[in-house]
Structure formats: C-alpha cells, structure tokens
Structure 1
Amino acid sequence: MSQLVTARIRSTAAKLGLPHLAESLNQYVERAEEGKLGYLDFLDLVLAEELAVRDDRRFRQGLRLSKLPHHKTLDDYDFSFQPELDPRKVKDLATLSFIEAKANAALLGPPGVGKTHLAVALAVAACRAGFSIYFTTLDDMVRQLKTAEAAGR
C-alpha cells in the first residue's frame, strides 16, 4: 500500500475518532494479506476490532468512575465458603435480567459472607454489558440524601 494512501487513511481514521485503526493499519493489512481476506471480510475485521477497543475503553472508564472498592468477578467467588447460598440464583442474577426488568437485587446477610463481593461482581458484569454503575454504601447514601434534603435538592 502506498505511503500516501496509508497517510490518508490514518488521517481520516483519526478525524472519524477511530484511533485504533490509525495506529494498527499496517497490522490489519498484514492480517488481510496473510488470510487472503476479501474486501468485506477486511472491513468486518477492522470494524470489529475498533468496536472491541472502544467497548474495552468504555468498560475501563466505567469501572474507574464507579467507585467500586475492588473489581472482583463471580469467577473469583468461592461458593463453597457459603454452602447455603445457591450458586444458580447468583448466576441467574448475573444474567442481569433484573436490570432489564427495572427491578432491584438486595443481598442480605451477616458481615463477612461475601455480599460486597457478589454486589461488585454483578456491577462489573453490568458495566461489561454497557450499563453505568456506581457503588455506594447505605450509610453514605443516607448521608448524601440528608445533605441534599437540607440543601433543598
């Protein structure tokens, strides 16, 4: 590919807000040549990669803004630690159907049983699915609500 065309593609990609394409153009071309990709397959590859990079960036930004105390997942949870907890119910929650139904999920139990871990894992799954998340404790939420009420908000 000529340097003029490469420079023009990089410039256009940057103007369109496709920074990964601008940075990785040579690797895409090499992959297309190695795989003898057709035009549509090449375009599909480039767009899929750009979307994956964008989704990953959105996910990392969402986690950063979420104020989660840690970023544990359900894979990190030891269900044998809480034998009375049904893993199927937790995995059902992880489908996030309760969010689509505009419902809440409440995790109740004594201290040290993994409620925060499970809440964080569900939040991470929700963030991965494209939802905005924000972590707070009940104590902090009540304090913020009292402050807002006192300020007339």
Structure 2
Amino acid sequence: LPIDSEDAKLFFQLIDVRYEKKSTVFTTNINFNLWNEVFEDPKIANAILDRILHHANVVKITGKSYRLKNHLPREIEKT
C-alpha cells in the first residue's frame, strides 16, 4: 500500500535511529526499485533504502507460497 509523506518521514526516523545500532529484518514482495512508488517522496524512499541496504544481507526467495501450499487445488499447483 502507498505510504503518505508524513508516515514515510516517521518510518525514515525509525530506520535512521536504528541505523548501525540495531538489527532489523524486513520482508517485502516489492522490488527495491519500486519503493519510489510506495513512498510518495522518492528522496525519502532512497534515504530509507540507503540505510537499509548499506550493511544488508538480502535473501531473495522464489517459488510458490509455503503458506498456501495446502489450500490450493492440485490443478493450480501444477501451473
């Protein structure tokens, strides 16, 4: 969901306070190059990503949803 500029500023402040002091784990299904669309202000989005990715270990997971595996009909799983 889009994050308005005030919430983006608050999120930046949280990330900035934790930067290089605390570990933080993020999960997202949005590619980093699309974060400018999530945050209304591209400058804040870039500043957040700069701090998040500076010392990050990014783990990209691909494949079918583990949580949905027992809920999807068999025909859908084969596609």
TM > 0.5 between the two?
Answer: no
Higher relative contact order (CA 8 A, sep 6+): 2
The TM-score, its normalising length taken from structure 2, stands at 0.34
User: If each structure's helix is expressed as a fraction of its own residues, which one has the higher value?
Assistant: 1
The TM-score, its normalising length taken from structure 1, stands at 0.22
